[in-house]
Amino acid sequence: MSDESTALTRRDFVRGTVGAAVAASLLGTPLDSKAAPAIKSYVALVRNQGALSSSNQVNELVLGDMLTQALHTVTGQTDEASAWRALVKADDIVGLVHTDHLNKTHPELIEAVKRSLKLAGIPEKNILMVQGSPEKVKQCTALISLPALKAHWLTGIGTVFKNYICFNGSPSTYHDANNAKLGEIWNMPHVKGKTKLVLVDALRPLCDKGPQPDPRYMWPYRGLIAGTDPVAVETVCLKIIMQKRQALRGEPWPLSPPPMVVEMADKQYGLGTSKLEEIQINRIGWMEDALV
């Protein structure tokens, strides 16, 4: 992408085609409503009211069931081992990429994924924690992305694409309006094509002031969001964040900086589908206040 095409101002985002498309997508209103759009991507939304206690402690048994349901829904397989085999091979070196700074991925989810992979036949020695290490990513033949759902004061949304920000060695080059370029990391040689599953920790998201945890903007959503299309998963995540922000304010409350990464990951980098109306959300479990 040229410097000219990425140097979008916030006014450009709101007034231009990027902003119009994202706004229409998040509102669930196609820009051209003459025909129903074809479904291009699928995202699993699994929620369980018992996933967190009233003090936000994780119920590991419930979370394990939610992981199994997410895997079944994403792959269409009827058992957990077959679901993983549809995503990774027995001899893969599998890198787990979690959110490790501030509003972190719950360790209970990381451990649940490790146990599940081992039960599916992936040796423990072949499961690596690779966040922040381009060198470790180079060793991997498959990646499972495990970001936490949150807004971020430097990139707008700090979830799916932000999760790989350290894999190019220069994270600060993707801040502010340059969040539009985050998708390029996913096309770098040591990353491209390796992500087999995006599994978002939406147990207790953060809708503002991220990544620093702020209880005013955190709530017990008690969910997992999963898919093999990272753009579609991020689009659903963004919808949830935006709807929660509007519910808190009683009016639209835009993110700053605008999360241009989502549409650009689709239009510029070809990583998936950013139009909500082209995404089928397969909902499992408790759906009160699902926001999407």
Q: Per residue in 6-19, pLDDT tens?
A: 333 333 433 344 44
Does residue 120 sit in helix, strand or coil?
coil
Runs of H (alpha helix) within 101-144: 107-119, 134-139
Q: For the chain, give the number of residues.
A: 292
Residue 31 clears pLDDT 60, i.e. is over it:
no
Q: Please return the burial class of 94, using the count of CB atoms within 10 Å of its CB with bins 0-12, 13-18 and 19+.
A: buried
Angle in degrees, CA 136, 176, 22, rounded to 5: 100
Residue 190 clears pLDDT 60, i.e. is over it:
yes
In this prediction, residue 26 carries a pLDDT of: 52
Phi, psi of 278 (to 5 degrees): -100, 10
In this prediction, residue 286 carries a pLDDT of: 97
Average the pLDDT over 45-71 and give the result. 98
Q: Which of 150, 59, 70, 148 is nearest to 108 (CA)?
A: 59
pLDDT band at 34 (very low <50, low <70, confident <90, very high): low
Listed as own residue / partner, the contacts of 163-168 with beta carbons closer than 8 Å and 24 or more positions apart are 163/97, 163/99, 163/131, 164/97, 164/191, 166/131, 166/132, 166/133, 166/134, 167/134, 167/137, 167/191, 168/134
| Cis, bond preceding 257 (omega within 30 deg of 0) | yes
Average the pLDDT over 37-63 and give the result. 97
Q: Please return the burial class of 76, using the count of CB atoms within 10 Å of its CB with bins 0-12, 13-18 and 19+.
A: exposed
Q: Per residue in 202-236, pLDDT tens?
A: 999 999 988 889 999 999 999 999 999 999 999 99
| Cis, bond preceding 211 (omega within 30 deg of 0) | yes
Average predicted confidence (pLDDT) for the chain: 90
10's enclosing H/E stretch is helix 10-15
Q: Which residues does 159 contact at the CB level (< 8 Å), separation at least 6?
A: 147, 148, 149, 150, 200, 234, 237
Residue 4 clears pLDDT 90, i.e. is over it:
no
* Global pTM value: 0.88
Domain boundaries, given as residue ranges, for the chain: 3-285
Q: Are 17 and 257 in contact (CB under 8 A)?
A: no
Average the pLDDT over 157-166 and give the result. 97
Q: Per residue in 60-102, pLDDT tens?
A: 999 999 999 999 999 999 999 999 999 999 999 999 999 988 8
In this prediction, residue 102 carries a pLDDT of: 83
What tokens were used for 60? Answer: 């590991």
